[in-house]
Structure 1
Amino acid sequence: MTKLLQYRGRFAPSPTGPLHFGSLVTALASYLEAKSVSGQWLVRIEDLDPLREPPEATEKILSSLDAHGLSSDEPVRFQSHHHSDYQTATEQLLKACKAYRCSCSRKQLQAHQGRHPQHCRDGGSATKDQPFAIRFALSDEHCQWQDLLLGRQQQLVQAEIDDPVILRKEGFFAYQLAVVVDDMDQGITDVVRGSDLLDMTAQQLQIYRALNATPPNWLHIPVIVNEQGQKLSKQNHAPALDNCKPVENLFAALSALNQQPPQSLLCESVDNLLDWSRTHWNRRAVHLTSQ
């Protein structure tokens, strides 16, 4: 008999500012999806880019999660502590000819419709004497997979044109590699994230295959938008959560996820509200918010 893996999910914010309502909705959805099946829920801080990360942001994010009763089942993982893991994966991909050095600028790539004028994928002119990024070498593919909320998904992947950077010229590891390595290392079985990341899935599937790993299940939820129809984000100046109103914030997040919480929950504690949420979590109802 095949032993089923225990559900292991995660919430992985970038510390570019304090937690806002859109982030809380994603965190709560991923938490409830895990806890509704007695799974584990982990927190990871994606601190890959120190140039964009205020020093106080991480503490503010973790304080907000704690105030809202969303506690990681394992010690918080920091990507900045795992550069050696990303380096090992990069070397593995280079050795397998699934990654390559690229010294092309964005301007050059745009001028050539995404093609590499220096023929980087073929060994080109990129040398260790000039700044270069390392890109993952995608294969042409009509990729299909099953999203747990959105159903059957299809994406066209174009080799060379879509090849993602996995190590930037500045020496920082990029999201597309780090997220795969982290999920592999932490044994993540299921990922709940915003639909703004949906387009990255097909590329990540190829990276998983190149690293001989099994990808997680994906569930993409609708993103929360402001009055202008823009995604709530730090770049769009989304206000920070008020940690003094966790019950109200969680109630609003449940409503945004179409869970139809009863008004009586507003008079309950954070723990009682989360208990109700775990018992009544309805993944299918979330999809109706985007209809």
Structure 2
Amino acid sequence: MATPQPYCGRFAPTPSGPLHFGSLVAAVASYLDAQAHQGRWLVRIEDVDKPRAVPGAADVILRQLEAHGLHWDGEVLLQSQRDAAYQAALDELQRRQLSYYCTCTRKQVKARGPYYTGYCRDKQRPPQGSAIRFRNDTPICSFSDRWQGQVTIEPAFASEDFVLYRRDQLYTYQLAVVVDDLEQGVTDLVRGADLLTPTAWQLTLWQQLSKRTPRLLHVPLALDAQGQKLSKQNHAPPLTEHQVAEQLQAAFRFLQLPEVVATDDPSVMLQQATASWRTKYLS
């Protein structure tokens, strides 16, 4: 039998603005799980969609993490510097006939139905001006999640030929996140439940680029008073360095952990929360 890989988790924010409470919940959950497993915890800046990245936001995010005692292992990986790795993965998939060129616009795709129909699958489209789609012949429609239980994704979505490389010459998140997780040796994905649905695509890609898949834990989403997900697009207020203890306490409560006494040292609070996480979610 193959030797299990040592635990490795990660937090991978998009630098479109500072972290907010919803981001903190995801960061704390992934950090605590890594600490409880005595594993590594990485930070990666997911700026593969370069036009969306806000100048200076990555530095702000890293300062916010440090202020909350969330110290990472190793160097911070920037997706914007990883084009060569993504292209190598694309080349491999093309060599194995697991991808194809597609000239369909979003408007054309939407006109044909809720999901892409494979319109360009068997057409010899030119590389110029085309997207590259994954030939999704063996989709994963169901998977086990440590928080959510057994998750089933709508088969029509799970089996869609999703985009790996956009017509505007940008690599997609779906490709980049899997390539990076594999290269960094990530074994466990602990993140928000908003990523449950695309997890089906990512697991399928994991299986094609590797013979393993990660363990999964998707925490519930933090919502605002109107029931909307806390996000930068919805103008969620940023974390403040003047309320670190209070913000950590709120994150622990959201993750259903016992109350942690507030101190001026966030590392002490995180140690207490790690012990609680180990008891609640690992036993």
**Alignment TM-score, normalising by the size of structure 1:** 0.90
Aligned twin of 2:269 = 273
Aligned counterparts, 1:257-268, within 5 A = 257-262=255-260, 265-268=261-264
Aligned twin of 2:65 = 65
For residues 248-288 of structure 1, give each alpha carbon's deviation from its aligned partner in whole angstroms, at most 9, with x where no partner exists.
111111111110214xx124521211111111215757xxx
For residues 136-165 of structure 1, give each alpha carbon's deviation from its aligned partner in whole angstroms, at most 9, with x where no partner exists.
111264622211112222224348972211
Q: Secondary structure at the match of 1:61?
A: helix
Contact 1:116–1:160 (CA under 8 A) maintained in structure 2: no
Q: Secondary structure at the match of 2:61?
A: helix
Equivalent position to 1:185, from 180, 183, 186 = 183
Aligned counterparts, 1:103-142, within 5 A = 103-113=103-113, 114-115=115-116, 119-124=119-124, 126-129=125-128, 131-139=129-137, 141=139
Residue 211 of structure 1 deviates from its aligned partner by 1.4
Q: Give the whole-Å Cα distance in 2 for the aligned partners of 1:22 and 1:282.
A: 22
Residue 6 of structure 1 deviates from its aligned partner by 1.4
For residues 29-69 of structure 1, give each alpha carbon's deviation from its aligned partner in whole angstroms, at most 9, with x where no partner exists.
00000101211100000011221111011011001001011
Letter in 2 for 1:174: T
Equivalent position to 2:225, from 220, 224, 227 = 227
Aligned twin of 1:32 = 32
Contact 1:138–1:159 (CA under 8 A) maintained in structure 2: no
Structure 1 residue ranges, 4+ long, deviating more than 6 angstroms after superposition: none
Residue 85 of structure 1 deviates from its aligned partner by 0.5
Letter in 2 for 1:79: Q
Residue 217 of structure 1 deviates from its aligned partner by 0.6
Aligned counterparts, 1:52-91, within 5 A = 52-91=52-91
For residues 119-139 of structure 1, give each alpha carbon's deviation from its aligned partner in whole angstroms, at most 9, with x where no partner exists.
311134x2134x111111112
Aligned counterparts, 1:89-104, within 5 A = 89-104=89-104
Q: Secondary structure at the match of 1:121?
A: coil
Q: Give the whole-Å Cα distance in 2 for the aligned partners of 1:181 and 1:213.
A: 13
Aligned twin of 2:167 = 169
Q: Secondary structure at the match of 1:94?
A: helix
Aligned twin of 1:206 = 204
Residue 26 of structure 1 deviates from its aligned partner by 0.4
Gaps of 5+ in 2: none
Q: Give the whole-Å Cα distance in 1 for the aligned partners of 2:263 and 2:62.
A: 25
Q: Give the whole-Å Cα distance in 2 for the aligned partners of 1:159 and 1:252.
A: 35
Q: Give the whole-Å Cα distance in 2 for the aligned partners of 1:256 and 1:212.
A: 34
Residue 167 of structure 1 deviates from its aligned partner by 0.8
Letter in 2 for 1:17: G
Tell me how many residue pairs correspond in the alignment. Answer: 281
Gaps of 5+ in 1: 286-291
Q: Give the whole-Å Cα distance in 2 for the aligned partners of 1:20 and 1:160.
A: 30
Q: Give the whole-Å Cα distance in 1 for the aligned partners of 2:32 and 2:213.
A: 21
Contact 1:254–1:260 (CA under 8 A) maintained in structure 2: yes
Aligned twin of 1:243 = 241
Q: Which moved more, 1:211-220 or 1:140-149?
A: 140-149
Letter in 2 for 1:224: A
Q: Structure 2 vs 1, CA of residues 229 and 283 (structure 1 numbering), >3 Å: closer, same or farther?
A: farther
Q: CA RMSD in A?
A: 2.1
Q: Structure 2 vs 1, CA of residues 222 and 282 (structure 1 numbering), >3 Å: closer, same or farther?
A: farther
Q: Secondary structure at the match of 2:141?
A: strand
Q: Structure 2 vs 1, CA of residues 159 and 10 (structure 1 numbering), >3 Å: closer, same or farther?
A: closer
Letter in 1 for 2:269: L
For residues 206-246 of structure 1, give each alpha carbon's deviation from its aligned partner in whole angstroms, at most 9, with x where no partner exists.
11122134111110110100000000000000011001221
Q: Structure 2 vs 1, CA of residues 252 and 142 (structure 1 numbering), >3 Å: closer, same or farther?
A: closer
Contact 2:132–2:163 (CA under 8 A) maintained in structure 1: yes
